[in-house]
Amino acid sequence: MTTTATEQTFLLPDLGEGLTEASVVQWLVAAGDVVTVDQPVVEVETAKSVVEVPSPYAGRVEVLHAAEGELVEVGRPLITIAVAVAAVAAAVPGGMDGAETADGVAAETYREEERAGSGNVLIGYGTSAHPGSGRRRRPRAGRSTTPDLTAAPGAAATSGGGPVKVISPIVRRLAREAGLDLRAIAPSGAGGVVTRSDVWTAIEQARQGPVSAPAVAGVANSVKAPAHASAAVGPRASSAVLSSTPASGEQRIPLSGFQKTAAKVLSRSRAEIPEATVWVDVDATALWSLREAARTPDDPGPGLLAYVARFVVAGLKEYPVLNSRLDVERDEIVLPGVINLGVAVQGQHGLVVPAVLDAGSMTTTELDVALRDLVARARIGKATTEELTAGTFTLNNYGGFRVDGSAAIINHPQVAMLGLGRIIDRPWVVDGEIVARKITQMSFVFDHRVCDGGTAAGFMRSVADAIENPAAAIVRL
């Protein structure tokens, strides 16, 4: 058996199911490195998140087609890999041993899987340039065949006599890491293509147990656009300056993928939603004291945000219409049946609002752990796409920016957002005397189409009363 090499160029696939471009954040390999199938080779920033892109080929890296910081359009070359190809003599029966035969069959299955999607969907994964019969011809005796030895060990098998169609390499990897069989996932993409939303739906079904498919699909489809925070402190500066005129000093800085998406979502929110805002000053002294009393030398205990998140979740259970979305085409308010609590985070790639999934089922301690983990990952761009798109309600702690209030913009397609300002010492009247208390301002913006001011005020007071008397509130939860 002899081995040769052939160059395979991997084109940037549609990582976001409709995104048209991505920016190279960091290459994880260099020219000359040897990579394996499904090994992450580059981090790219899309309009939704920063994701690692795995390689569909095994071999030696020849060319990196984009520099770090460069914008790459979907379907353009990303990386070229020299793939090892083995020419196996099959002159007589038994010319290959079992291992070689298995490798060849697996490789062919892998190639068929990647060719299964349409050229418009599975860009960069070797879709056929021209239609064929799909039949395989058995090589005649005395001829050699050249099986591709880049097969993924866990490549999806065929379903119903045909290969599983996937929209991008991320889909296969997500399903494998979740322990799901692609063949068992109902596809929603054109031509029977399995999308990431399909995998998320299957994961949610597995997490919640037996649930009707239409109900779960409704939740997944209700949050397509990423939820971005209501008021960015400042746009992230781009390293690329399009033009600069020395005389006038004018510069042009291109919007990042995050900023483009935020602009679309926030503009749509402001154009479509008749929003109203209410606010109240809250005495958080008792909550502050409770947090301090819960601290020990070995355990800092839950943070203030975890307590507030718990009170918000309780308020949403009391007023579920605020944890919903509005289906304008059918004139229906859609209640998702789960509380995915979004939290505004200023990350290195921009201001995003990842969500604590199923926050309604968590204790204060569990919320604290989940929030700390989510915020830490979001700050370095490691929040998952599901976390960035699944939010059903947003808690915006703009007090972290040392401001007291905000006229927020609702994160479409959500219908409400609660904001919390900084907690500072202020003069407050208690039992007829002016004393120093820990005061914060809470603001609440809501979609006036789904509820009136009475509902909004009721929710606000529910959260405010819990903050002012946390011990009694926790007992009731």
What is the structure's pLDDT at 247? Answer: 59
Instruction: Report the C-alpha gap between 19 and 16 in whole angstroms.
Output: 5
What is the structure's pLDDT at 27? Answer: 92
Residues 273, 402 share a domain:
yes
> For position 380, which CATH number holds?
3.30.559.10
> With the CA atoms of 196, 198, 203 and 206 taken in that order, what torsion angle do they form, in degrees rounded to the nearest 10?
-170
Residue type, 212: S
The 3-state DSSP class for residue 430 equals strand
Which of 174, 206, 221 is the C-terminal boundary of a domain?
221
Residues 261, 125 share a domain:
no
Instruction: Report the C-alpha gap between 45 and 242 in whole angstroms.
Output: 20
Work out whether strand 393-396 and strand 341-343 pair parallel, antiparallel, or are unpaired: parallel
Residues 467, 336 share a domain:
yes
The active-site residue out of 65, 130, 228, 448 is 448
The 3-state DSSP class for residue 358 equals coil
Instruction: Report the C-alpha gap between 46 and 64 in whole angstroms.
Output: 19
Residues 302, 199 share a domain:
no
Instruction: Report the C-alpha gap between 451 and 99 in whole angstroms.
Output: 65
> Is residue 158 one of the residues assigned to a domain?
yes
Tokens of 345: 């985070």
Residues 183, 101 share a domain:
yes
Answer yes or no: 65 catalytic: no
> For position 17, which CATH number holds?
2.40.50.100
Bridge partners of 11, per DSSP, are 77
> Is residue 230 one of the residues assigned to a domain?
no
Which runs of E-coded beta strand occur in 36-89? 40-45, 50-54, 59-64, 71-73, 77-89
> Is residue 69 one of the residues assigned to a domain?
yes
**Residue-by-residue pLDDT tens, the chain, 477 positions:** 566 778 899 998 876 656 678 888 889 999 999 998 888 899 888 766 777 888 888 899 999 999 988 888 888 999 999 987 664 444 434 444 444 444 444 444 444 444 444 333 333 333 333 334 333 333 434 433 333 333 333 334 444 455 677 756 667 777 777 788 888 888 877 667 787 778 877 887 776 655 443 333 333 333 333 333 333 333 334 444 444 555 578 888 877 766 777 788 888 888 999 999 999 999 999 999 999 998 888 888 899 999 999 999 999 999 999 999 999 999 999 999 999 999 988 877 677 889 999 999 999 999 999 999 999 998 888 888 889 889 999 999 988 888 898 888 899 999 999 999 999 999 999 999 999 999 999 999 999 999 999 999 999 999 999 999 999 898 887
Domain of 65 in residue numbering reads as 2-130+144-221
Helices (H), 283-331: 285-293, 304-318
Residues 212, 336 share a domain:
no
Which of 221, 252, 284 is the C-terminal boundary of a domain?
221
Domain total in the chain: 2
> Is residue 136 one of the residues assigned to a domain?
no
Bridge partners of 285, per DSSP, are none
Residues 250, 201 share a domain:
no
Which runs of E-coded beta strand occur in 246-352? 250-251, 275-283, 325-327, 332-334, 341-343, 345-347, 350-352
> Is residue 295 one of the residues assigned to a domain?
yes
Look up tokens 């609002």; give the residue.
353
Write the DSSP symbol of residue 359. Answer: G
Instruction: Report the C-alpha gap between 67 and 26 in whole angstroms.
Output: 9
Residues 331, 191 share a domain:
no
Residues 283, 152 share a domain:
no
Helix (H) or strand (E) holding 412: none
Which of 221, 254, 286 is the C-terminal boundary of a domain?
221
Residues 148, 20 share a domain:
yes
Instruction: Report the C-alpha gap between 388 and 385 in whole angstroms.
Output: 5
> Is residue 323 one of the residues assigned to a domain?
yes
**C-alpha separations of 41 from 153, 174, 335 in Å:** 18, 16, 40
Q: What does pTM read for this prediction?
A: 0.58
Instruction: Report the C-alpha gap between 426 and 255 in whole angstroms.
Output: 40
> Is residue 395 one of the residues assigned to a domain?
yes
Residues 97, 48 share a domain:
yes
> Is residue 54 one of the residues assigned to a domain?
yes
Residues 337, 194 share a domain:
no
**C-alpha separations of 302 from 172, 291, 308, 383, 477 in Å:** 37, 7, 10, 22, 16
Look up tokens 């409709």; give the residue.
18
